[in-house]
Amino acid sequence: MLNDQDIKKLLLRTAARDEGSAEAFESLYKTCAPLLLGVAQRIVGRRELAEEVLHDGFAKIWRAAESFDPLSAHPVAWLVTIVRNRAIDVQASQNVSRVGSYHDALDNDPDGALDRLFDWGPAADEGEDRRRAAQWLRDCLAELQAVERQSLVLAYEHGLSHGELAAHLRKPLGTVKTWIRRGMVNLRECVEACMGAVR
Amino acid sequence: MKIENHPRLDALCGEYLLGTLRGAARRRFERALREEPLTSLRLRYWERIFVPRYSQMIEMQPSAAGWKRLERDLDLARYRIPWHRRAAFWRGWAAAATAALVLGVVLQISLPAYKTSEPVAVAQLTGQADVSRVTALLSPDGRTLELRAARAVVAGPAQSYELWLLPAEGTAPVSLAVLGSLDARFALPPAQVGRLRSGAKLAVSVEPAGGSPTGKPTGPVILIGPIDT
């Protein structure tokens, strides 16, 4: 994996649409496709469908590169959002229930799942700022109520809708919506408190 | 109402990043991101809060055909540096011309025929009768591994195959790749280049989609075979 700065350069070069844009886009693909395919696979659950999502996602990345915000500190997050949204749309159009197919490892071991899915350690290329932010998020997720944390992680990892979450957790839709909303509010307030504490 | 003045702007940003903002609501939000500066500014703030970095363990190697199809569909050839203007081409040409000259001389002296650069079979992986035999081939530079299954073997929806190197020294298995099919070609992790040698073994286990959650084989081993180089 290249660092954020390199990926940002490749994206800007891709957006330039001149000689060398194809080379930059190819480097971007070679660097990021394995991660993005893994992200798609977690949501659509089928290899061939995940490859389709990857294809459509990169076609969108090629077209949308010019709208990438060069001030953004998180180019990988931008790529992930495009691929996740495509995966969510493809999954929704498949019209099949996936809810039964999730193993319940999360239910028993939400913290283990957090560490399997995400990497919280410092990356070699990361600034102090970024490293601290990741740690705050990790700590604040751990402080959430279990139901809130579980809803957020399930929704993020598998791209579940409110309705699918409600079915999976066997809770009323309104309850699940509240967990998600409250979970995000609590998460933000907790991270903001951490930010304030170092100021 | 503009989204940037919306009392639920924070909730919308959060649910957009989480992925629970769907359909028309998501499209409205994405339009606001393009048209309303305060909305995109607020989202950038949220990205500082909600910045999970995926673990490398979830990575999967895309099929080789994927990039070729993308290149064709987007007509990327138009945006390539022409070959004659690529510095690397001329550098490569100079090196190749020199090498060819040297090689020609050497070959004339020492070798009757020039060896081709086809990958070489290094292991036969076998398992129970109902699983296809798989041949592992290594490129001449030792950096690319290829698997060829006698019959097509494709992982089920919730599964991946994971290829492991069982090192000659008897140390813990090392993951080489997470695969959806046992017909695959991929670059070896740089740290493992040169470690596929006699005495070591290759094995394939069945893992949850995306590969082993622990970094060690967790599912049944369906294929195994010694490396012979």
**pTM reported for the whole predicted model:** 0.64
Q: How confident is the model at residue B104 (pLDDT cuts 50, 70, 90)?
A: low
| The pLDDT value given to residue A98 | 55
* CA proximity to B156, closest of A49, A37, A105: A49
B182-192 pLDDT tens trace: 888 888 888 88
Residue B160: strand pairing partners? B207
pLDDT higher than threshold 90 for residue A183: yes
Residue A16 and residue A30 in contact, taking contact as beta carbons nearer than 8 Å: no
CATH architecture, domain A4-94: Orthogonal Bundle (1.10)
Confidence of residue A181 (pLDDT cuts 50, 70, 90): very high
Asked casually if ipTM beats, i.e. exceeds, 0.90, the reply is: no
- In DSSP notation, A87-136 reads HHHHHHHHT---GGG--THHHH-HHHHHHHHB--SPPTT--HHHHHHHHH
How far does CA A119 lie from the centroid of its chain? 12
Interface touch B210/A42, C-beta < 8 Å: yes
pLDDT at B126: 87
Q: Suggest the residue from A81, A173, A184 to mutate for an interface test with chain B (most B CBs closer than 10 A).
A: A184
Domain definitions of chain A by residue range: 4-94, 99-197
Tell me the CATH number for domain A99-197.
Answer: 1.10.10.10
CA distance linking residue B123 with residue B224, whole number of Å: 9
DSSP secondary structure string for all residues of A57-100: HHHHHHHHGGGS-TT-S-HHHHHHHHHHHHHHHHHHHHT---GG
Q: Which of residues 35-74 of B touch A (CB under 8 A)?
A: 40, 44, 46-63, 66-67, 69-71, 73-74
CB contact under 8 A, A38 and B60: yes
Question: Is B182 or B85 the better-scoring residue by pLDDT?
Answer: B182
What pLDDT score was predicted for residue A3?
78
Neighbours of A27 (CB within 10 A): 17
Quick: pLDDT tens for B21-61. Answer: 998 999 999 999 989 999 989 998 898 888 787 887 888 99
The per-residue pLDDT for B202 is 93
Between CA A110 and CA A116 the distance in angstroms is 10
* Residue of B133, B134, B122 whose CA lies nearest to B194: B122
